[in-house]
Amino acid sequence: MIRVTHGFGSSLPFPPPEDALHRRHLLPGLPLHSLFLSPDPDQMLTTPLPAFLQPARVPVMVTAARPSTPLAFPSSPAPPLRGIAARPISRLPAPGAPPLFVPPISPPRAAAAAPAPRPTSPTTTAPPRSSPSPSPWTRPSTNPNPSPSRRSRWRRAPPERDFAGTPYVPVYVMLLPLNVVSADGEVVDADELVGQLRVLKAAGVDGVMVDCWWGIVEANRPQEYNWTGYKRLFQMIRELKLKLQVVMSLHECGGNVGDDVSIPLPNWVTEIGRSNPDIYFTDRAGRRNTECLSWGIDKERVLQGRTAVEVYFDFMRSFRVEFDEYFEDGIISEIEIGLGACGELRYPSYPAKHGWKYPGIGEFQTTDRVFCSSAMTDRVLMLARLAFEGSNIAVKVSGVHWWYKTASHAAELTAGFYNPCNRDGYAPIAAVLKKYDAALNFTCVELRTMDQHEVYPEAFADPEGLVLNAAWDAGIQVASENALPCYDRDGFNKILENAKPRNDPDGRHLFGFTYLRLSKVLFERPNFFEFERFVKRMHGEAVHDLQV
């Protein structure tokens, strides 16, 4: 299965000519140049609307997080895994340590009646980020004494659906830190990780997602691969009887929301980039984006005699040969193919390191020496299907939901999705995935449109509108991830509603869901109660504290 995020996919030239864009005004009476053809590139990245069109701000209520007691993990080194079946960690106390906490099947009613507050700023329960900048999708309050709006003050939680007996949707958890395998080939904090994985297994989680970073595996020389650390990690996961989603991460890590480490592209690639910067995407101001390679070199032999597509194929083929037994045993359940910025099928149109701020519409990446179209997706997926024949592959599509409620869908347009009001820009992507029997994975499945309107009314956002029926209509499998940290019942209920739509006569449901991400905050008692409850409902099991 191949996972895809909101990407491009148009048989038309991209980007469309300027005169064509002028015929599709972004807003009635608002000229195109005032939005994203500003003479100042920085202004284009950060200014969504002229000042005279900016709506009034809405007060934001920021709720402090409740003090929580984290789960206890063994303080002594974990025992050897081989031959030990997964079991609740309360049976594995450290010498002299108090009994370990294992979440019960369902939380007490008192805990259920007071779910953890939904984080609205980086000062609540969100995990620490590598950058002090707030999340692009949430705004911290500037009022030292914020008060809720009347709607927020009186809104009641909607009744919950009973998902008992509904289809089984597997739940995976993305491992953290993202460099869980270090550049030296070691598993980071292996003893603590084993304890966390045992808790996840006891809660019913199906497996974990692991990024295999190109910049770590093929770091120093072309076609010289070091899989040692990943072999150790995969062995730990297999002996705990968990499944694996593996991401072929062909981009750099660092500078994006949730990135907690810095992992550049391979050293030999960045060395080439110093003398030939055309291997990177470039905006009209001449800024190079080193996050991933430009699609313009997919057929250019500029990487020491190989094209970018050949480099990707060799990397994937090496992984398939090295971990053959994990494929044969069914431990690896899915391979996700990274196709662009953040591993998503899109142009790097809104990089924070170049000054982008939410909800800016971003910048076209059109000044590459050789510009390429969606044919890149077709070529890479063809080779991925060849390397991983018989396995599920997937491609991730990002949830570019800001400016969705305008005629032009301007933020999607700069990211490569030609999806204006009179055209389905995701149907061509679904067609390519269908061709290679690949799955579509989209993000922001937990976000609510009403919340976005209350916090960022000027963003014209509609994350709920991004549920991509084009993929289901094409008959391909659809998976999803959350975009921001989620610990509260309302957020989990939103995911459940999207995973198993209520009014769907065809009975369609998600192929799988990946929770972002593993963290110590997740293991705090009230948060883990809600998470375990969510896993049971995704599996179609009954819970006994529904708020009906």
Catalytic residues: 344, 481
One-letter amino acid of 450: M
> Helix 375-387 and helix 427-435: axis angle, to 10°?
30
- What tokens does 343 get? 């591993």
In Å, how far are 62, 174, 260 from 217, measured between CA atoms? 42, 19, 19
How far is Cα 334 from Cα 441, in angstroms, rounded to an integer?
Answer: 12
How far is Cα 205 from Cα 259, in angstroms, rounded to an integer?
Answer: 23
437 belongs to an annotated ligand binding site:
no
- What tokens does 273 get? 């980039």
How far is Cα 189 from Cα 65, in angstroms, rounded to an integer?
Answer: 27
Point out which residues pair with 513 in neighbouring strands: 171, 480
Are 416 and 346 contacting, i.e. CB atoms less than 8 angstroms apart?
yes
**185 Cβ contact list (under 8 Å, min separation 6):** 226, 228, 229, 232
354 belongs to an annotated ligand binding site:
no
How far is Cα 496 from Cα 447, in angstroms, rounded to an integer?
Answer: 12
190 belongs to an annotated ligand binding site:
no
How far is Cα 437 from Cα 280, in angstroms, rounded to an integer?
Answer: 29
Rounded to the nearest 10°, the torsion over CA 335, 292, 417, 132 is 100
211 belongs to an annotated ligand binding site:
yes
483 belongs to an annotated ligand binding site:
yes
396 belongs to an annotated ligand binding site:
yes
**253 Cβ contact list (under 8 Å, min separation 6):** 178, 179, 211, 213, 215, 259, 261, 262, 263
Name the residue with tokens 């993929």: 471
- Three-class secondary structure of residue 376 per DSSP: helix
125 belongs to an annotated ligand binding site:
no
In Å, how far are 390, 445, 514 from 244, measured between CA atoms? 16, 21, 11
Peptide bond into 420 cis (omega under 30): no
Rounded to the nearest 10°, the torsion over CA 360, 289, 336, 9 is 60
- Three-class secondary structure of residue 527 per DSSP: helix
Are 444 and 397 contacting, i.e. CB atoms less than 8 angstroms apart?
no
User: Which amino acids are annotated as binding site, given as ranges?
Assistant: 211, 251, 259, 396, 401, 443, 482-483, 517
Annotation: binding site for substrate? 211, 251, 259, 396, 401, 443, 482-483, 517
